[in-house]
Amino acid sequence: MQFLLTLRDWMRPMLALTRKELTQLWRDRVLLLFLVYAFTVDIYLAGSGVTLQVSHARTVISNADHGVAARELTGRLVEPTFRVDAQAHTQAQALAELDRGGAMLALDIPPRFSADLAAGRQTTIGLWADTSNSVQGFMAASYITRVVSRFGIETGLSQALGQGAGVAAGSLPTVDNRIRAWYNPNQDDAWFMSLSQLLNIITVFAILLPAAAAVREKERGTVEQLLVSPLSPVQILLPKVLAMGGAILLAILLSLGFVLWPIFDVPCRGSLGLFFGLSALYVFSTAGLGLFIATVARNQAQVGMLTILLLAPMLFLSGAWTPPEAMPPWLAHAMVISPLHHFMDIAFGVMLKGQTAAALLRPIATLSVIGCLLFGFGLYRFRRQFG
């Protein structure tokens, strides 16, 4: 009983401070607008605008052959993957187009291409890809390579069998590769993009909001007013995390309800409650970083800059762009400390795979440990700064 009374006395100021934070946020219309924009429009843009697949790759062809086989090959470069809207007369012209940025791929078909094939001789074609954007260039190059090599195999087979191209492929002992795309059967990029953008935005605000709220107190000098009161540092800082965490969870709901579900049809195969519970855990973990920033920064502008500084490696190490297996070993190990990496596993696990808490035990446990460490560190810095 005595303990409960003490707990009530301990909680009451914190509830008052939490309410204060929410009131302040509510009255800060600019910040509020930014929050709503980021959780709706920004995620919509990411989901509908960004795709990792190569589409409409502009291709320029210099065809010196004009034979049947050349027409057959170029006819296979079709929309939406390729867009052949430029014909060059010479190889030099095609390469100039590549230099100019007018095309991403240049295909050079030599004279006698069709004739050589028809005569059963080996022949070559030239292929150039603009890989200044390495991902897109690499993918475009591999797509066109696939098209060309398939054309080559089919032409070779039909020659060998003395039949028309591509007709009897099924009668040969080939491997039929049947892919089952799980969790995202249509391989819809919008699912991945919108969901990972939501996680990024959550990260931004989970750092930014508590940091800004704490630094605002420093800027206006109200923090001293709190420090002379009988409140402990935990009682001063926890309300900021509670209030801002609550606001972020609400914004997540907004994002799911107005963007992810209705527009992109992203499913929630697991428990929505579990998703929100684990989002709360993540927001709490990341808020520790925000509190750390608040002890370093002197004003709101510095909070903004430090947030960007911390955010860059967090996003990079999250695994959204590169899976850990593809990273150099030391970076792959570094990913363990990135809370976003674990939250990605959790969010995709719950939303798309329908995983349960038991299945996600490992990332949940890691995230909890990281969260406690970060929050403890933020608190330690605050204590040290304000004794």
Contact footprint for other proteins (CB under 8 A): 9, 12-13, 15-17, 20, 23-24, 27-28, 220-222, 224-231, 386-387
CB of 36 to other proteins, least distance (A): 19
* Nearest residue (CB) to other proteins, 61 versus 236: 236
* Nearest residue (CB) to other proteins, 162 versus 387: 387
* Nearest residue (CB) to other proteins, 15 versus 161: 15
CB of 221 to other proteins, least distance (A): 4
**Alpha carbon 370 to its chain's center:** 21
| CB contact at 8 A, 213 and 21 | yes
* Nearest residue (CB) to other proteins, 19 versus 89: 19
Question: Coil, strand or helix: which one is 354?
Answer: coil
* Nearest residue (CB) to other proteins, 20 versus 353: 20
Name the phi and psi angles at 86, rounded to 5: -140, 135
CB of 227 to other proteins, least distance (A): 5
CB of 215 to other proteins, least distance (A): 14
| CB contact at 8 A, 33 and 78 | no
* Nearest residue (CB) to other proteins, 27 versus 180: 27
In the beta sheet, which residues pair with residue 109? 63
Both ends of the chain: CA-CA distance in Å?
32
CB of 11 to other proteins, least distance (A): 11
* Nearest residue (CB) to other proteins, 20 versus 112: 20
* Nearest residue (CB) to other proteins, 13 versus 354: 13
CB of 10 to other proteins, least distance (A): 9
Sheet order of strands, 126-129 included: 82-88, 57-63, 105-109, 126-129
Q: Hey, what long-range contacts does 65-72 have (CB within 8 A, 24 or more apart)?
A: 65/109, 65/110, 65/111, 65/112, 65/113, 65/114, 65/115, 66/114, 67/113, 67/114, 67/115, 67/118, 68/114, 68/118, 69/113, 69/114, 69/117, 69/118, 69/155, 70/109, 70/113, 70/114, 72/151, 72/165
Return the amino acid letter for 74: T
Residue with token string 């991403």 = 104
CB of 232 to other proteins, least distance (A): 8
Instruction: Give the span between the Cα atoms of 149 and 153, in whole angstroms.
Output: 6
Peptide bond into 13 cis (omega under 30): no
CB of 25 to other proteins, least distance (A): 10
